[in-house]
Amino acid sequence: MMPQLPESTTVATAERAEPLAGLNPAQREAVLHFEGPMLVLAGAGSGKTRVLTTRIARLIEHHRVDPSRILAVTFTNKAAGEMRERIARLLGEEPKGMWSGTFHAIGARILRSSAKHIGRTSSFTIYDEDDTLGVVKRIMERERISSKLWSPKVIASLISDAKNALVPPAEYESLAMDPVSRAAAKVYREMEPALRAANAVSFDDLLALPVEIFRKDEATLARYRDRFQFILVDEYQDTNRAQFQFIKLLGSAHGNVVVVGDDDQSIYGWRGADIRNILDFEKEFTSAKLVRLEENYRSTPDILHVANAAITQNVGRKGKTLRATRASGEPVTLVAALDERDEADWVLEEIKSRRNQENRGLNEFAVLYRTNAQSRALEDTLRREAIPYRLVGSVRFYDRREIRDLMSYLKLIANPSDEEAFRRAIAVPKRGIGDTTVDLLAASARESGFPLFEIASREELQQSLRPAARKALADFTRLVSGLRERAKDTSVDVLIQDLVDEIRYVDHIQAEGPESARDRIENISALINGAAETVIDDGGEIGLTPLDHFLQRAMLVAGADAVDPTADAVTLMTLHNAKGLEYPVVFLTGLEDGLFPLSQSFDDPPKLEEERRLFYVGITRAESKLFLSFTEMRRRNGELLPSIRSRFLREIAAANVEEKKTLRLSTMGRGTISRGEGFHSGAYPARRTHDVPSWRKAAITEAEVSQDEPRYVKGERVKHKLFGDGSIAELTGVGREVKAVIDFDDEGVGRKTIKLAYTTLERGQE
């Protein structure tokens, strides 16, 4: 029988009835459903968060379900926090004991309490992408796999895909048919022993290892099945195989699984998300109820007409039609520009005009684009006019070099077995201990079975080292051990301040030059402030120290969590980063074939459908006004080349879009669109890939770069005409101010900071 709360925990009937009174019929149906599986198809702006929170509150106060029996899964930490706050407001008190968080956060929580099943302790470290890449590189070196032949980033990506698909190393090795997969198989085989020795897990392990535990240990699975009698999952269309299996294993016995999502907003297939999870939910849970939320509370009818016209072209969907609850507003405007500079100038003038005439703040404007490279012209234009902007999806706070340096110390203090943290911490500031010395110690650690830090702490194991190196090691280990002892009864912010003082880190960054020191010192202050604000919630995570808790939160924070909606600045971001956000005025730019959609999707129907879903996501971010734009010409690889209007624009012909040209195009354009020809008149016929001339294929190469990758990426191999081969260690700045910190292979050259606008780099061998 379901455990129930005492009568005293319920709130007054009037308070309970009020949330239900404001729901539309479909929302009400989803909230009133009690037991059994349900799929809620929630269209953009249809109030799904309200449905989720009201449903959970109703389970607690009406059906008297103990909050500790509820598991609510979201896709960002910010969404999880907002959900708890809204439920608390509905109940009049915190839903104590309820688990809510991202898949990764919940996975980490389960692993902490079941660490013995995976050969770790509860204080294990969570490795981010850079940490995991470091492990991959070292295994490649030991296995004699050339990093010039096979990029460590590619190897790491293949292993990540395998883990998220729940393919274990032995199975992956048996399936590896091509050379790069066979190389990845060798590394994958050695990954788990390396991570176990470091008392660490990768980010992907937070999803894969809980599933592994559930499959192998029936008692653990039974315990969590019994605890979580009601499971709710948001953004279900973005789940991958590991996440699907996690929910299926926990919920298939009682069937009280409610998933909320929008198949029309499934845009992360390139990350491993599987749209079939939502499309086939009713096959996996055969008694599932289906509810469609189609009333949209965000956008005007004109915007929704365009959205519906766009998405109905897709075949792989459950089907729904968004209906506006708002009154009519401005029509959607399609603008043709001469080139990307003209497009950016037009965006700027429109923002300035609307800011003045409509008294809008800059934070009410968002400019969306398909690839990161498109931000350059926009940034140059906004900077020229001194218009503040924020670039969402650029360097994550915790990926900045100074933050990674200090975090490596904190990780080592919390977990002395963490080899990646040891390697980074001992190198900053320089102590006269090079990679060769550390590699010797690491080899000794592997042979003896001791952690690297312990080898470094024991002088009798360092006889082959010169006296200066032994002293430097002793000083370093004494420092870390002292801070580790202090961490037991010192707040994290004070601990960081002590660390910064003791290693004289501010002196270290100032010695590198005053140009970047000020920003980096401000970032350190922000880290200390964030640590001071960290509050350990009740949540039941017994055994986590304040430092453990801080590190876990830092590793699990997502880029979307950091978006500040109150900052008075224009928002620039890729369409992928825009998901889940909304703005009064939206500019969706660069609507040209080969750019959006990317040319690689032309002859691949599933990819083209995902591109179209991305178009739909962009459209539905707009509340009051939507602009769509494309250019007649665009600069590719330094050459100005003709553009082809996006096929997506032809597909919205029935939506009555207002059409305009920029003044510059009207006076200087190549004349392919006459005043008598509408943008929907077929002036640019549809083309297949083989119709695109070879010069066009070469020109669109830059646009085919992954939507969340800058032109260069950290870890990439490059070649400089003077300094030779090297690897990019860090990227900072935007537009023409982008600088790369490069570690060159030639020890005589070492590390150099280079401004990319004035340097031609060649990409290294992949």
Catalytic residues: 48-49, 234-235, 265, 621
Looking up tokens 């939160």, which residue turns up?
553
Task: Name the residue among 750, 754, 741 with its Cα closest to residue 715.
Answer: 741
Q: What is the rounded distance in angstroms from the CA atom of residue 477 to the CA atom of residue 36?
A: 56
Contacts of 645 (CB under 8 A, 6+ apart): 591, 592, 593, 630, 679, 683, 684
Query: At CA 575, angle to CA 573 and CA 581, rounded to 5?
Result: 80
Q: Let me know: does 586 contact 545? Beta carbons within 8 Å.
A: no
Q: What is the rounded distance in angstroms from the CA atom of residue 97 to the CA atom of residue 250?
A: 18
Q: What is the rounded distance in angstroms from the CA atom of residue 207 to the CA atom of residue 104?
A: 6
Burial of 454 (C-beta count, 10 Å sphere; 0-12/13-18/19+): middle
Helix boundaries (H) for 198-300: 205-216, 218-227, 241-251, 276-279, 281-284
Q: What is the rounded distance in angstroms from the CA atom of residue 646 to the CA atom of residue 623?
A: 23
For residue 542, give Cα distances in angstroms to 119, 381, 546, 548.
19, 52, 11, 11
Give the amino acid at 329.
G
For residue 738, give Cα distances in angstroms to 390, 522, 744, 745, 753.
15, 19, 18, 22, 10
Query: DSSP letter at 520?
Result: H
Q: What is the rounded distance in angstroms from the CA atom of residue 368 to the CA atom of residue 345?
A: 15
Contacts of 671 (CB under 8 A, 6+ apart): none
- Give the number of other Cβ atoms within 10 Å of residue 486's Cβ: 14
Query: At CA 325, angle to CA 319 and CA 331, rounded to 5?
Result: 90
Burial of 362 (C-beta count, 10 Å sphere; 0-12/13-18/19+): middle
Question: Quick one: how far is CA 700 from the chain centroid?
Answer: 26
Q: What is the rounded distance in angstroms from the CA atom of residue 93 to the CA atom of residue 141?
A: 55
Query: DSSP letter at 372?
Result: G
Report the number of secondary-structure helices (H) and strands (E) in the chain: 31, 24
For residue 424, give Cα distances in angstroms to 164, 420, 429, 619, 670.
28, 6, 10, 44, 55
Q: Let me know: does 453 contact 489? Beta carbons within 8 Å.
A: no
Q: What is the rounded distance in angstroms from the CA atom of residue 727 to the CA atom of residue 716?
A: 6
Task: Name the residue among 540, 442, 425 with its Cα closest to residue 481.
Answer: 425
- Give the number of other Cβ atoms within 10 Å of residue 96's Cβ: 14
Classify residue 540 as left (phi > 0), alpha (psi -120 to 50) or beta.
Answer: left
C-alpha dihedral over 663, 664, 666, 670, to 10 degrees?
-160
Contacts of 246 (CB under 8 A, 6+ apart): 103, 107, 207, 210, 211, 214
Q: What is the rounded distance in angstroms from the CA atom of residue 127 to the CA atom of residue 195?
A: 9
What φ, ψ does residue 516 adopt, rounded to 5°? -105, -5
Q: What is the rounded distance in angstroms from the CA atom of residue 66 to the CA atom of residue 632?
A: 60
Three-state SS at 663? helix
Question: What tokens were used for 697?
Answer: 């294929």
